[in-house]
Structure 1
Amino acid sequence: MSVTPKDVLAGVGPRLHALRRARNISLATLAAETGLTASTLSRLENGKLRPTLEQLLPLARAHGVPLDDLVAAPPTGDPRIHLRPVRRSGFTVVPLTRRPGGIQAYKVIYPPAGTTATTTLQTHDGYEWFYVLNGHARLVLGDQEYRLGPGEAAEFDTRTPHQISSAGAQPAELLTLFSAQGERAHLSPSPTLPT
């Protein structure tokens, strides 16, 4: 069952009346607080006047309630993201984005070094950027090998043979951005601070 704007506005008058009565103030006092006339307030409370945003804002402020409470706005839903981890080749991938295409974000957890047998370098289209959150990561890129610790980041073309793994006795946790289209991460230089 959907609620129409007319239904929502019809309920505003009784809510305004209840709020004023709960504060035990007169129409004249509320008029002084809001800049609206007592006549306008009375007509709003009795449902004889359709409320406008210009009227509702000072009323919400005077009563100390959110505007959503005056119009009984429906809840916006649960803002939490319910992530579903996926195990792949011995490591765990938690997708952080849901839309197809473009840059994808993941939290990737690599098990401690030596616990997986995969040593094969891989190649594929795209571009990858990662940031080490915890532990130490080992990045093999072509014939070069790098060890990265917490707070360090790497960026590379995934057409270059590569492999990422943990470089220590603890799991390595990485925040990874990947783009199949080959977009690169662009960082703006920090503004120069005055001395």
Structure 2
Amino acid sequence: MTQDGDLDGLVRMRIRGLRLARGWSLDDLAGRCYLSPSTLSRIETGHRRISLDQLTTLARALGTTLDQLVESVSDDDVVIRPQRDEARGMIAWVLSREPGLTVAKMRVTRPEPRRSADEMKVHPGKDWFVVLSGTIVLLLGERTILVEAGQAAEFSTMIPHAFGARGGPAEVLAILDHDGERIHLRQLS
């Protein structure tokens, strides 16, 4: 089967799966999307081609988006591979793929930072992270803040800041805006 055929079959399975997950019959969905039950049955079984306007109507009726209904499937959509930056002592798993905010799990191996112009950075936005394991030393302006496992931090990134791990690697779950992603994940590849 071709990739287009695979996607076509996947879309049909999604339509049927969403309908059944909501406990709807063909008649129930037909009433919500103004298509006949027989047309819906033929769409689900592959005996009728699906037009773009029908997909849009079906997505809306099923409470999803057209993008979600037709998104392709590959291992890249499921498997999140680490991005390494050994020079900066970081490994990150970018958990979100949507634009805007980025969610990343990061393993911080670089040691505690020093209060120097080379290490202290400033950029627009806010950073937020929760420490999953280990201890993070956060230099924030003139303050030194220890953030331990189970604790979280949120701060304006317009304040000079740097962070590193105390006593061994630490793992954090971070939410970064566009500027934070650009600064903290820029060299990871």
Runs of 4+ in structure 1 over 6 Å off: none
| Displacement after TM superposition at 1:126 (Å) | 1.4
| SS of equivalent residue, structure 2 residue 78 | coil
Partner of 2:176 in structure 1?
Answer: 178
Residues 1:108 and 2:111 are matched in the alignment = no
Q: Deviations over 1:139-173 (max 9, x none)?
A: 111101111111000000111100111022x2011
Gaps of 5+ in 2: 10-37, 45-71, 181-189
**What is the RMSD computed on CA atoms of the aligned residues?**
3.5
Partners in 2 of 1:51 and 1:99 — Cα distance? 34
Partner of 1:145 in structure 2?
Answer: 144
Equivalenced residue count is: 117
| Displacement after TM superposition at 1:83 (Å) | 2.2
Identical positions, percent: 27
Q: Is the 8 A contact 1:89 1:118 kept in 2?
A: no
Partners in 1 of 2:82 and 2:131 — Cα distance? 21
Q: Deviations over 1:111-161 (max 9, x none)?
A: 1636x8895211011110000001001011110111111100000011110
Partners in 1 of 2:108 and 2:115 — Cα distance? 12
Larger radius of gyration: 1
TM-score (norm 1): 0.49
Partner of 1:155 in structure 2?
Answer: 154
CA 1:143–1:118: 2 relative to 1, 3 Å:
closer
Q: Is the 8 A contact 1:125 1:180 kept in 2?
A: no
Q: Is the 8 A contact 2:82 2:91 kept in 1?
A: no
TM-score (norm 2): 0.50
Q: Greater helix percent: which structure? A: 2
| SS of equivalent residue, structure 2 residue 144 | strand
